[in-house]
Amino acid sequence: MLIPKGALVVSCQARADNPLHGPVHMSAMAQAAQAGGAGGIRANGEADVAAIRAVTRLPIIGIAKVWDDRFPVYITPGFEQAAQIAKAGADIVGLDATPRPRDGEPVERLIGRIRAELGKEVFADVATLEEGRAAHAAGATYVATTLSGYTEETASRKTEGPDLELLSALVAEIPAPIVAEGRFDAPDLVAEAFRRGAHAVVVGTAITNPREITRNFVRAISF
């Protein structure tokens, strides 16, 4: 199932150190997002994806994060993780589409294999326009601004808010659905992304991470 144009996609992820970690909480979160009008879900790991698949028919962007000190790429680095996520019920496989070193084959080949061997759509997380062009040329269905500010090359772009400039540049140059993701932490920013031509917007922390939301409130009252 594809992501409808104009959809708000809610990213339901909680790391191991988060009290909401695990499929029970993440599937409840996804149901809450659906009840609130979400048009898609982004989720990490086989267990969470399978649990969310069991409770919703919304399109799921599945990723598998693997941290390995030897490689900077941690979002679905190889085919093995992509296959697990596909089997767990994701409609779309999300991956790091930067050319940085990864534990696996080059990203262009990985994108091709996901489409050909798994029959899944590919959601390419990029940090630059150049990476977006390459991911599109390699066959990615969606190109998203997810990694802007999170790679060495783009560290200085990790502003308080999202990278709207990259969004506009991708929309202007790439004939594919462009998705806005990363630091969209208020409804007016989501609206601005759509005004700039985004196909969909993914929001995570601001909706599904009560620990961070609480921290933001506490920070604001720490005089």
Ligand X SMILES: CC(=O)N[C@H](C=O)[C@@H](O)[C@H](O)[C@H](O)COP(=O)(O)O
**67 versus 223: smaller Cβ distance to ligand X:** 67
Please, what is the angle between helix 164-173 and helix 187-195, to 10°?
Answer: 20
The residue assigned the tokens 């267990």 is 47
Residue 184 vs residues 10, 56, 80, 149, 192: alpha-carbon distances, Å: 11, 24, 30, 13, 10
Least Cβ distance, residue 65 to ligand X (angstroms)? 7
**116 versus 158: smaller Cβ distance to ligand X:** 158
Least Cβ distance, residue 211 to ligand X (angstroms)? 12
Least Cβ distance, residue 144 to ligand X (angstroms)? 8
Least Cβ distance, residue 25 to ligand X (angstroms)? 15
Residue with smallest beta-carbon separation from ligand X: 204
Residues 6+ apart with CB under 8 A from 191: none
- Residues engaged in binding ligand X (CB under 6 A): 11, 13, 63, 146-147, 150, 181-184, 202-206
**138 versus 185: smaller Cβ distance to ligand X:** 185
**196 versus 223: smaller Cβ distance to ligand X:** 196
